[in-house]
Amino acid sequence: MRTAAQPGSRPPADLREQIIAFVRSLRKPVLEPGLAGENEPFPLAVVAEPEPNRKSQPPEAFQGQGWRLEVEFGKLLLEVWGEGGSVVRRIEGVERHASRLRLWAARPGWSDERVALEIREADDIVSGAGAEPRDSGLDSREGSGEEPAARRARDREGFESDLVAMLVREFPGWSLERVSHRPDRERCFSGCYTRGWARRGREAWAFLGLSAQEGPSAAENALAYGLIWLDWLRRRSAEVRRERAPENQARAGYFPEVTGLKLLLPPEAVAVAAHRAAYLDQSGARIEILDWTPPQDQPRPVDLRDYGNVETRLTPRWRGARLAEELRSVVENLLRGLPEELIGSVKAVADPAGEALSLRVRGLEVARIEPGSIPKIYFGLEGARTLLDESRRAEFQEFLGSAVRWRRARSADRAHLFYRLQAERWLESLLVEDLGRVDPAFVPEHVYPQVPAFSGPATRGLSRGVIDILGVTRDRESASHRLAVVELKLDEDPNLPLQGLDYWLRVKWLEDRGQFREAGYFPGLTPSPAPPVLYLVSPAFRYHSTTEHVLGYFDPSIRVVKVGVNQLWREGVKILFRKTLKQGRALEEREPGNPCDDGRSV
């Protein structure tokens, strides 16, 4: 027996009351799926659900986590946050399933896609140990009578059995060991994959398999988790050999050197992994990708020589500049008469595709202007925008005032949606004002934030990309210029190095074909043919522990600069360290106080 509320059929305030009442009725309420990257459902630990515009206060056991459910400008928005990051969803409907409450939600920026969330008792589940939620939402198939988590655990057990059977058949004489799909958060082993190693005498290789039933995030992260598994095996093998040598060299053969990694992936995960693997150092570790999906008998080897060149389209710079000039008077009329504090906080920039003008408050888009004979102005958060007309002028001013009031360094409510949304864009807006803080070698006249780079449909997972910051550095000794890609990340993410590599290989492809100059970038400069420099920028203590291990497998031609900023960067960006790396090893490390740092903060 269930009751359902279709999207739009009930006022948001009524939906909020129903959800809050249900949460209060549970002893240990949890939300599933949890935060992206988390293995466990999210605990909705509440002493008393907050009044509107106030955050929840979790018990001491859950400090650092929290959630909000608020009606903002006619939309019901749910936000949860913790060490794994934060997630915001617009709640459109509710369904009661006996002891559970299903929430139908829309993701910001994916207004046509609905995902299912579920609130339940923490112990109201039957699943394998450590089962992880799929990031695509709950499996909404009805009629089987089986809980989604139990079905997921069964599917993973079945995939592991199929994978082992295929490997035994295709690689006779090899011993398969440490085969598991159980997550291990301490070592960063995800339950989305079946991992193991194959050994024959003194030879060994690691393997990692992915089922087609897993979500798109698992496909995108497969190579990163494969490298993490390979690296752990190599380190463990080396430790055992050291412990057993020299007194018993013969037994050391039981832990041979692991020569490489075999990834067994469904077709939809092959391209993104292969493009990245093409720029890994094959002399340091052999990376092989096999296209395989059960019940397929034989895996199909993927030739990495066919990958690595991501054919990319670049939006011309003049398109955005022309649009900004065309709509300049519209922006002036829109802001005329508003308080100076509001006007001074708004930046008008062309969106990445150059199709609309975006009005932003510290990186957060608050309004969009679409060109036309009569330009249309929409205000509100992405996925919940409202067409502006004279009757809504006061509502727009109230919305803009709220954004400016709450989205500031010393906000009175740091749990407020405006403060927490799109934090990376906030950091980006600060850095582009003076990119020399990241590295004094940057040329300030050539800094381009949010550069769109689109690839064809054949490269699923890489089809659309927006480079956080594109710039050019100047070598102090040779006076030559070199392109640089800046990738920002605020949360611990094991996939950060490979996400940065995605943008690096796009920029390399474009520069090799002279497309930046054709599109109006870097006027008057001729960058050197050297590969771009990849800058990774994150709060100093938010880099994942595996970052430099993964970087160790990069091709030696890729120069990486790892930059650590202060945790309180909203109050002023300060550089805590700057490390130049080659294959994960530091070539140079600079800290504040050296001649290149003048003590300023952005």
Per-residue confidence (pLDDT) for residue 164, from 0 to 100: 97
Alpha-carbon distance 503 to 506, whole Å? Answer: 5
Please report, for residues 61, 167, 196, 204, 233, the alpha-carbon distance to residue 172 in angstroms, rounded to integers and kept in the order given.
Answer: 50, 8, 16, 14, 22
Per-residue confidence (pLDDT) for residue 110, from 0 to 100: 42
Alpha-carbon distance 226 to 111, whole Å? Answer: 33
Alpha-carbon distance 50 to 450, whole Å? Answer: 36
Residue 357, SS3 per DSSP: strand
Please report, for residues 44, 48, 65, 91, 568, the alpha-carbon distance to residue 24 in angstroms, rounded to integers and kept in the order given.
Answer: 10, 8, 18, 18, 34
Give the dihedral sign, CA 69/75/81/84: positive
Radius of gyration of the chain (CA): 26
Consecutive 10-residue averages of pLDDT for the chain (602 residues): 46 88 86 57 56 41 63 79 67 83 71 71 51 36 56 92 96 95 91 95 94 90 97 90 63 71 96 94 94 93 87 83 93 93 92 89 95 94 88 94 94 89 94 94 94 58 72 87 95 93 92 91 91 96 93 95 94 94 76 45 43
Please report, for residues 222, 255, 504, 505, 520, the alpha-carbon distance to residue 514 in angstroms, rounded to integers and kept in the order given.
Answer: 32, 49, 15, 14, 11
DSSP 532: P
**Angular region, 345: left φ>0, alpha ψ -120 to 50, beta rest:** alpha
Please report, for residues 30, 340, 393, the alpha-carbon distance to residue 336 in angstroms, rounded to integers and kept in the order given.
Answer: 47, 10, 12
Alpha-carbon distance 465 to 510, whole Å? Answer: 13
Whether 94 and 69 have beta carbons less than 8 Å apart is answered as: no
| Other Cβ atoms within 10 Å of 351 Cβ, number | 20
The CA-based diameter of the chain, rounded to the nearest angstrom, is 86
The secondary structure element, H or E, covering residue 398 is helix 393-406
The secondary structure element, H or E, covering residue 244 is helix 222-244
Instruction: Count CA atoms closer than 13 A to 88's CA, side-chain side.
Output: 23
**Angular region, 450: left φ>0, alpha ψ -120 to 50, beta rest:** left
Rounded to the nearest 5 percent, the helix, strand and coil shares of the chain are 30, 30, 40
Give the dihedral sign, CA 507/510/511/515: negative
Per-residue confidence (pLDDT) for residue 380, from 0 to 100: 92
Among residues 382, 418, 421, which one has the least CA distance to residue 401? 418
Which tokens belong to 415? 């749990």
Q: List beta partners, residue 210.
A: 193
Alpha-carbon distance 267 to 219, whole Å? Answer: 10
Strand 175-180 to 110-121 pairing: unpaired
Alpha-carbon distance 265 to 269, whole Å? Answer: 6
Residue that is written with structure tokens 């993964």 in the block: 550
Strand 260-265 to 286-291 pairing: parallel
Per-residue confidence (pLDDT) for residue 215, from 0 to 100: 83
Residue that is written with structure tokens 């001729």 in the block: 526
Residues 6+ apart with CB under 8 A from 63: none
- Amino acid at site 583: Q
Sheet holding 203-210, edge to edge: 175-180, 193-200, 203-210, 260-265, 286-291, 300-301
Please report, for residues 51, 265, 271, 331, 455, the alpha-carbon distance to residue 460 in angstroms, rounded to integers and kept in the order given.
Answer: 44, 14, 7, 37, 9
Whether 239 and 461 have beta carbons less than 8 Å apart is answered as: no
DSSP 531: P
Chain-centre distance for alpha carbon 82: 15
φ, ψ dihedrals at 465, nearest 5°: -150, 145
Among residues 519, 520, 516, 536, which one has the least CA distance to residue 579? 536
Give the angle 227-566-472 at the CA atoms, nearest 5°.
70
DSSP 151-210: HHHHHHHHHHHHHHHHHHHHSTTPEEEEEE---BTTTTB-TTEEEEEEEETTEEEEEEEE
